[in-house]
Structures are given as C-alpha cells and as structure tokens.
Structure 1
C-alpha cells in the first residue's frame, strides 16, 4: 500500500540523520520527495561528512517513492525561492513540508555557560536552527496552502513538556530546539484558516550517522555503545521518526495534532508503527523514569 502516492514532499535538511530517515519513509509510502542539503557528491559543507543528498534521493527511490536531490543552502533566500519555484514548475503542488535543517552539532559547547560559550558559534547555531526554517516556510507555504490539507512538520529535540522542565545543557541549544516547537505552534495558528496543519516532532535518542561515529560503532553493532553509555539501550534509528512523519502525513485526521509537539515514541503508540528491529522505543518516558531518576539502564517496558 502506498498511502502517499501522488503526494509531493520537501524534506529540507535531508542529507543525513532524521532528514534522511524521514525522506526514506515518505518514499516508502509512495511520495515524491525533494531532498535538500549542502553536501553533494562533488561538494561538502563545513561538516565534512561523507553523506550526500544524492544518496538520500536514491534511498527514497529504492524504498518505493521518487527521490529528487537539490543542493540548497536554506540560509540563502534566493536559493530557497528558486527551489520552491522548481517544485511548482515540476509538480504543481506541495503537500508536505518537513523543516529539518539543523547543522549545529559541531557548534555546541555542552555545559558551558553563556558568558564562556562562543558567541559566534552560538549565533551561527541559532541561524541554522531558526532562520533556515523561517526562510523555507516563507517561500514554501503559499504553494503548500494550495493543497487545502497540507502538513508542516518542524523537527526538534524534546517535546514542549520535556523542554519546559529541563535545561538542555546549553543556552543556545535550548533556544534552538524550543524555537522549532514555538514555530509549529505559530504556524498552526496561521495555517488553520487554510485547513493545513503544523506539528513539532522529536525523535528520541537517535542513532544518526554522527552519533554512531561518536561511539565508534555501526548500526549492526550499535548495542556495543552501551558499554560506554548504558542508557544508549533506549536509542532508535532515524527511520523511526521517519515512520512517525509518514504516519502523520497519511492521517486524514492529522489536524487533531495541530500546534502540538509529540515524540516518535508517542506517535508509535497511536499509529502502531515500529522501529526497524520491531520495537517501539519510548525515549522521553524512559529519560524521566529511568535515566533522570538515577536508575540502572534497563529498557524493559520502554521499547
């Protein structure tokens, strides 16, 4: 079954991580997916990572959709405007917008107070996390509104409830991820008269390419990382949040989520999807009840 057959999606920031997982699962559901990012097979961003937007587009097509890779710097309004003009010319519509642009991992100074944190790095982080999403929405939403039931997904880290109660280990990072949640809420208000929906979605502890490299493991032996960080037992693949977004996009009653912030684990319970290993990780419940409660790492009952 291809519930998103005929639908057109833009995953902004789909080179790796959550964006790649989301694009792939939208493709598996039959969508045409435009995947954007700065790293191509001939040019790398300052990340200097090997993953490319062409690889993501190929994964989309292999999964059953149509993947189209376009190099875009979402801080450049002219590039974003040209992107949307191309989607309009080629498809005549846009049904799903996923704002996943991030790019701040190498800029975060964890547990460093603002008076010691690099201002240049901190403000760059905010530009990448906030300005990119606003610029993309500015140009993309007029086309999305035409669909009459479009969906905007703001990818963040943490739900509103969790972030309100927890310091996210950096003032700049805290602001970056809270901003995506507030953007979803604001967009929900602005899109409601046009019968479109905006929702913020967070993964749990995601086994992105960067995270796996951090622990020196591959997806095939990811559990070995628990020797360094026992609570990694609750982690999930990027495809899990991909299935969460695909489930939202295929829900005729998706408007019930308008303005809310939800996690992959929460949505898995509602829609009945699973991660690639057949489990349903519920990271944020685990984080509160086990990790932050000082209990030994044990994912039993949480995945």
Structure 2
C-alpha cells in the first residue's frame, strides 16, 4: 500500500474517540507516526466518563500500518502540554502535522436553553474546554511545527461557515466553533511566513461513538438511526474526515487552502476518497438542497448524495 506520510510525525489532540480517533488512524494508514493524545487511558479516566482510550487509538494506528504513540495530556493544563512538547522534541525534534481536535465540552453544553437561563459555570466550561485548550496546544506545539518548513496545522470545528445553522446549540457552543474557524484563518496568514500551512476542517453529520449511542445504533446498523432523524441517512464515519486530513497532509500543494475552512464533502470532491462503506456522503449538498428548503428527507433519493 502507498504510504505517502511515511517518516512524518503527527500529533492529534483529542484522539480518544470520534473525529480524533478517525483522524489518527487514517494518518497512521498513510504511514505516519501519530501521537494520540487525550485524557482517558486504560489506567486514568476523564470527566467524560467514557470507555474509549488513547491506548486503543494508538493500537488502531499500529494496526492501520502507522506507529501509534499514546500520550496522556489534559489540554487545559499547560504543564501537561509542556510535557507532551518535551516528549516529542526529545523523540523527533519536530511536528510535521498538528491536528487540533481537542473538545471535551459535551458535558457542559445545554442545548435548547436560553443563555440567560443557563448555568454560567457550564457555559464557561464549554469555552474553557473547547477554545482555550486550542490556544494552549498551539502556543506550546507550534514551535515544533515551524522548526522546519513544510509543517501543516489543522483546526477541527463544526460547520464550514459562521452562519447560525443549528438553533439550540447556544452561544457558548457557537462561540467555540466560530472561534476555531477564526483561529484557522489567522494561522493561514501567520504560518505562511514560516513555510507552514494552517487551515480548518469540519466533518458533516458524524457517526461518532456518542452519536451512535444517541441514535441507539451501532456502526453495523447505523442506518436504523434514520427512524429517529431521517437526515441521518447522510451520516459519515470519523474515518471520512480522517481520510480528508490524510489527503491534505500528503498534498504538496496544500498551501492553496491556507486560512480556509474545508469540509469533508468539499475535500471529497477535491481528492475523491470514500467513507468506510465505499460511499461519498455529501452533507453540504444535502443540507443545501434538502434540509434548508424543508423537504421531506424520506422522499429524497439519498443515493444521489452519497
């Protein structure tokens, strides 16, 4: 198999589950050494109280053909990130690909709640876990990215523009996801002077572990989730955005996307990769042509959109 990222060093923040895990595994499948970072290990639980671990992610990276390195890191802790930086500096002296996917805000988000009626501590927790963590990670790890030309930094968000498309998510969540896009825009400008590229990516309707549980399905029967939400017919696995990022990391002309927010579906059109089932879900076109106009999703031929 082709290994376009053979010899490359990648760091994925928030690699315990969801997008982070899918990204780490697909970077590994392309041959990279991947530092899978997060708070949950087999020995240490996080406030998320989930069973997925970074140890499992690193093993999946190995199984995919890369080299997985699990490093526990709480990105709200500067000292933890310093220790991560020092470990990578000692091992390699550089980072070729930094994917900033840390989140950890689910436990604080109060959906469908007026902001003034919400819990302020939870609101601030969303911002702390979803935005400040990105700043801490970047502040400490960017020196390893710009240590030599050609580095790539990818911020991971939710949504490809700053329109308020999903009423009910609330101000803190929207602030975080818009803020991450803003970080990507600035990185696109500032990193160019150092021979590096910065941008933002977003998945579509994600089949993360938590979303599968929410819909009461598994990866094997995920389509049954359409009984709860017909739009779930466009759901994509975390590997889809992972393959998008692996394609970006292997693209010698990736700088043409500097500062932009690229979606899994726009990158699919650019690079032609598929999801695990061989399909190409196009959430962007589905949203524009089905969701926005208020069409009945069950009356639309979904095969035309994946």
SS at match of 1:256: helix
**How far apart in 1 are the matches of 2:116 and 2:93?**
49
* Unaligned segments of structure 1, at least 5 residues: none
**How far apart in 1 are the matches of 2:285 and 2:122?**
32
Shift of 1:223: 0.6
Tell me whether 90-99 or 103-112 shows the greater mean CA deviation.
103-112
Match of 2:140 in 1: 139
Match of 1:182 in 2: 182
Match of 1:67 in 2: 68
SS at match of 1:146: coil
**How far apart in 1 are the matches of 2:21 and 2:160?**
21
Q: Tell me, yes or no, if structure 1 residue 224 matches structure 2 residue 227.
A: no
Match of 2:303 in 1: 300
Shift of 1:164: 2.2
**How far apart in 2 are the matches of 1:286 and 1:107?**
29
Shift of 1:94: 0.7
**How far apart in 2 are the matches of 1:117 and 1:167?**
18
Instruction: Mark the CA change 1:168 to 1:184 in structure 2 (over 3 Å): closer, same or farther.
Output: farther
Match of 1:240 in 2: 240
Shift of 1:292: 2.3
Q: Report 1:57-136 matches (<5 A).
A: 57-136=58-137
Shift of 1:106: 2.1
Match of 1:264 in 2: 264
The alignment yields a C-alpha RMSD, in angstroms, of 1.0
SS at match of 1:106: coil
Structure 1 residue runs of 4 or more that deviate by more than 4 Å after TM superposition: none
Tell me whether 138-147 or 233-242 shows the greater mean CA deviation.
138-147
Match of 2:3 in 1: 2
Shift of 1:40: 0.6
**How far apart in 1 are the matches of 2:160 and 2:195?**
24
| Residue deviations 1:179-220 (CA, integer Å, cap 9, x gap) | 110000111111110111111100000000000011111000
Match of 2:54 in 1: 53
Shift of 1:168: 4.7
CA contact (8 A) 1:281 1:302 kept: yes
| Residue deviations 1:22-42 (CA, integer Å, cap 9, x gap) | 000000000000011101101
Q: Report 1:10-49 matches (<5 A).
A: 10-49=11-50
Shift of 1:167: 4.9
Match of 2:152 in 1: 151
CA contact (8 A) 1:167 1:174 kept: no
SS at match of 2:221: helix
**How far apart in 2 are the matches of 1:113 and 1:293?**
26
* Unaligned segments of structure 2, at least 5 residues: none
